[in-house]
Structure 1
């Protein structure tokens, strides 16, 4: 019988899969090292078990001890599997930008999950770096993993991931592309591949809001590069010891929006259901397509499984709320879809300016069409209203008709986005769409900008 003694022995030997449709315009062969077949559904299983085994060898963790780690979720899952098999407790510290699915999965395998705010400095006592260290200091018989600086992380990939890629490509690999977070994967794989062939190019995928690309190119750690971003698992606001910048030939940045869109494309066009960093990686390859030649063999590593993002990148509402959803808005009617169930808010010409302010607050809107005898006769706009009311308390008791601006243009539902964009400008913040039977709705400047994003 061919059996494994425990689940940890199933880690590794993940498949290499050709990318077909998404890279049809790239002359090179593009292959994906799909790490979702690891038992914890991510590449992090490899280094998690390696770090635990090294800690055991060094006496850093004792039987019945507690493992503590700050993680974006995937390393936590690998550590959870090791903890279950080896009899340890596990505390995972995550930032609040990580998906709910990751947190639920960690709890499902017995980990205690502590959630920290994302938008704080690494040194802030609330950051997941600081909280992890504090918990390790306060918890008896505990070991703080510190995957960022624990060099067993990149050793795991030097010993397993790199050799697998070399063997699976018969040594023909010319480029290795992967998202960079702790730096263990790119540095370990990169070291191994360059030892086999120094001409192999090692390319890191970075995100906007991370320091890696600029530091690699200039040697400058620029804090102005740091700001919150949505993409999970890659990019950092610190320089982990596991990132070997000398091994890396190039960093390519990918936006949050592109990362999310191309994560979905991988599922729908290639049938590869993987996570957020995979979307970044494949988009990075497309951005660099002029770098690749006909005989090149490009290997991109996909870190984790798409099931951890079903409430985020694979959720239309989540994507739409962030302006990430690629929808074919062609006409005024299309732009009404997002708010067609909300009635058009209007105000009578004899009502007071204070009533207009109250309606804007109540409905969270910035302009209100003004009516008289059922006809549109003007517009109250928040900017004009504020300008007139500042320093003039009596203005709030003036009739809307005395302070309103010109009425909005009226268009038909089939009016194109292009025509709408010509009508809406700094003086005309919106248009009215005639729906028939004396029904109208409004399309605002914000609607048009969102459709063009």
Structure 2
């Protein structure tokens, strides 16, 4: 049996205790939300926790009986493993073989079971793996809950109701700032849309700049192979509200690598590739901000996943 559930009416989940990450002015004019310091190492833990808590509240997940399944490049999987552990709920993940091997190893280390490697070696996609296991749940002795992060609106609610209010509260440290230029990328588009909507609701004027790898055009569903895991993932971001995108900037990998190195030398923080892509746009932009404005970006995850094993 398989269950997929959305968050009802974007209301707060039954358990809302969470770690608050820092918002720091890492360079003049540039505010960074340190989502890399979340448990699990990224912003994805917020959506995972929200989805799991909501599903348990509605009975879609029965602790000790249900197995959560998802296809993921890693970060959402960490969040699921951490969110499910207190509830004695197993997690199975289909992770593409091209993703960071270090991430794959650590997913197993924190308790997730990686499935479908033999199928993917023969050409199956992670989606194919999940679909096969859902169709054969009875044979496998599983009652699955498919979190389906690309269709589950709870991902947006998690950031609109949790991340954005945190940022708004932390922005009190800069009381003169009323305008934000939010530089972000999109996989599902949940964090970008949720945070932007939440900050607008908090009374801030928000301009959004979407960062994409060179050659990709998510608006028109054009994608090319690239090295920036977690963004422009081959499908149009289902939760991205294009009406709020003021501008799109394309970045190439050489500039991303240079931004990662520059940021590490100037601040001491080693960040992941999607973060570095946003920083390659955000850092020069920050120098142009007026007194009442700041550039805002997320440090989505740290860079240790992307170093050679």
User: If the length of structure 1 is used for normalisation, what is the TM-score?
Assistant: 0.58
Partner of 2:170: 168
**Helix, strand or coil for the counterpart of 2:243?**
coil
> What are the within-5 Å matches in structure 2 for residues 104-143 of structure 1?
104-114=105-115, 126-139=124-137, 140-143=142-145
Residue 434 of structure 1 is matched in structure 2 by none
Residues 40 and 77, structure 1, Cα contact 8 Å, conserved in 2 = yes
Could you list the runs of 5+ residues in structure 2 that have no partner in the other structure?
1-14
Distance 1:39 1:198, change over 3 A: closer
* Superimposed CA distance per residue, residues 192-224 of structure 1 (whole angstroms, 9 cap, x where no aligned partner): 112233631122222235332xx1xxxx33xxx
Residue in 2 that maps onto 1:99: 100
Question: Is the 2:185–2:274 Cα contact (8 Å) retained in structure 1?
Answer: yes
Structure 1 residues 9 and 167, CA gap change in structure 2 (3 angstroms): closer
- Pick which of 285-294 and 129-138 moved more: 285-294
Please, which of 234, 239, 254 is the counterpart of residue 242 of structure 1? 239
Q: What TM-score, normalized by structure 2, do the two folds share?
A: 0.83
Equivalent residue number for residue 42 of structure 2: 42
Q: Following the alignment from structure 1 to structure 2, what is the Cα–Cα distance between the partners of residues 157 and 282? A: 20
Among 180, 188, 210, the alignment partner of 1:182 is 188
**Relative contact order: is structure 1 or structure 2 higher (C-alpha 8 Å, sep ≥ 6)?**
2
Give 1:10 deviation, angstroms: 6.6
Compute the RMSD of aligned alpha carbons.
2.7
- The 1:301/1:114 distance shift into structure 2, 3 A limit, reads same
State whether residues 35 and 42 of structure 1, in contact with CA within 8 Å, keep that contact through their aligned partners in structure 2: yes
1:100–1:311 contact (8 Å) kept in structure 2:
no
Alpha-carbon distance in structure 1 between the residues aligned to 2:246 and 2:192: 11
CA radius of gyration, larger in: 1
Deviation, structure 1 residue 291: 6.7
2:242, 2:17 → 1: CA distance?
Answer: 31
2:270 is the counterpart of 1:273 = yes
Q: Please report how far the alpha carbon of residue 35 of structure 1 lies from its aligned counterpart in structure 2 after TM superposition.
A: 1.0
Whole-angstrom CA distance in 2 between matches of 1:229 and 1:157: 26
Gaps of at least 5 residues in structure 1 are 1-7, 21-27, 313-453
Equivalent runs, 1:303-314 vs 2, <5 Å? 303-311=300-308
CA deviations over 1:367-425 (Å, ceiling 9, x no partner)? xxxxxxxxxxxxxxxxxxxxxxxxxxxxxxxxxxxxxxxxxxxxxxxxxxxxxxxxxxx
Q: Is the Cα–Cα contact under 8 Å of residues 73 and 229 in structure 2 kept in the other structure?
A: yes
Q: Quote the residue 2:31 is aligned against.
A: 31
1:260-339 alignment to 2 at 5 Å?
A: 260-286=257-283, 288=285, 292-311=289-308
Alignment of 1:417-432 (within 5 A): none
Do structure 1's residue 144 and structure 2's residue 146 form an aligned pair? Answer: yes
**1:70 corresponding residue in structure 2:** 71
Q: Which residue of 1 aligns with 2:52?
A: 52
Cα distance change on mapping 1:255 and 1:96 into 2, 3 Å = farther
Q: Is the 8 A contact 1:175 1:200 kept in 2?
A: yes
